[in-house]
Structure 1
Amino acid sequence: MKILLSLEEMLKRRVPDIDAVERINSALINKVPFSFIRMNDGEAAILGVGHEHDHDQAEFFYHHWWGDTNFDVNYTKWLQSELVKSAESSDILGFFDMCDKKPLKFKRTGGMLRKGADLSKVDLFVTPEAHLNWHSDALFKHIFDGLDQVTLISCYDISKAIKRAFSFKDVTHIRIPGHAKYSNRSKMMASHPHDRFPAIMRRLNAEAQGRVYLIGAGVLGKLYANTIKEAGGVALDIGSVFDSWVGNKSRGSVRKYRIGF
Structure 2
Amino acid sequence: MANIVFDEGDREYARNIIKEFLETFELASFKNKCADHGVKILYRNAVELGCLTGLIVERIYSRTPFSMLRAGDGEGNVLSLALPGSRPERDMKWLNSVFQMMDGQTISTADGKRIASSMANAFDNADVIGTRLFRHGDENGVYDETKWFLDVLSKGETRGPVGALKAIQFVESLIDDNNNNKDESRILTSAWVHLYFIEQLDTFIKYAEKVIVISGRTELADKFATRYVAKNIEFVGIPLQASDFNTGGRIPHYPRRYNETISKIQENARGALVLVGAGIFGKMYCDIAKRSGGIALDMGSAFDLLAGAATRPIHERIDIKNIKWI
Q: In the alignment, which residue of structure 2 is the partner of 1:96?
A: 132
Q: Does the alignment pair 1:132 with 2:159?
A: no
Paired residues for 1:111-260 under 5 Å? 111-115=169-173, 118=177, 120=183, 122-135=185-198, 138-157=199-218, 158-166=220-228, 168-184=230-246, 186-188=248-250, 190-259=251-320, 260=324
Q: In the alignment, which residue of structure 2 is the partner of 1:3?
A: none
> Please, which of 101, 117, 122 is the counterpart of residue 81 of structure 1?
117
* Alpha-carbon offset, residue 24 of structure 1: 0.7
Task: Give the % identical residues.
Answer: 21
Higher helix content, 1 or 2: 2
Q: Which ranges of structure 2 fall in alignment gaps of 5 or more residues?
A: 1-28, 135-140, 150-160
Q: Is the 8 A contact 1:84 1:113 kept in 2?
A: no
* Alpha-carbon offset, residue 209 of structure 1: 1.2
> Please, which of 42, 45, 58 is the counterpart of residue 26 of structure 1?
58
Q: Is the 8 A contact 2:132 2:192 kept in 1?
A: no
Residues 254 and 165 of structure 1: is their aligned pair in 2 closer, same or farther, counting only changes over 3 Å? farther
User: So what's the TM-score if we normalise by structure 1?
Assistant: 0.86
Q: Does the alignment pair 1:14 with 2:72?
A: no
Aligned with 1:178: secondary structure? coil
Larger Cα-atom Rg = 2
Number of equivalenced pairs: 252
State the distance in 1 between where 2:226 and 2:52 align. 25
Aligned with 1:81: secondary structure? helix
Amino acid at match of 2:167: T
Aligned with 2:41: secondary structure? coil
State the distance in 2 between where 1:257 and 1:164 align. 25
Q: Which ranges of structure 1 fall in alignment gaps of 5 or more residues?
A: 1-5
Aligned with 2:270: secondary structure? coil
Amino acid at match of 1:88: D
* Alpha-carbon offset, residue 15 of structure 1: 1.0
Amino acid at match of 1:115: S
State the distance in 2 between where 1:175 and 1:121 align. 35
State the distance in 1 between where 2:128 and 2:68 align. 5
State the distance in 2 between where 1:147 and 1:9 align. 35
User: Pairwise CA RMSD of aligned residues?
Assistant: 2.5
Residues 159 and 54 of structure 1: is their aligned pair in 2 closer, same or farther, counting only changes over 3 Å? closer
State the distance in 2 between where 1:80 and 1:122 align. 24
User: So what's the TM-score if we normalise by structure 2?
Assistant: 0.70
Deviations 1:17-47, CA, capped at 9 Å, x for gaps: 6131111111111111111111100111112
* Alpha-carbon offset, residue 122 of structure 1: 4.6
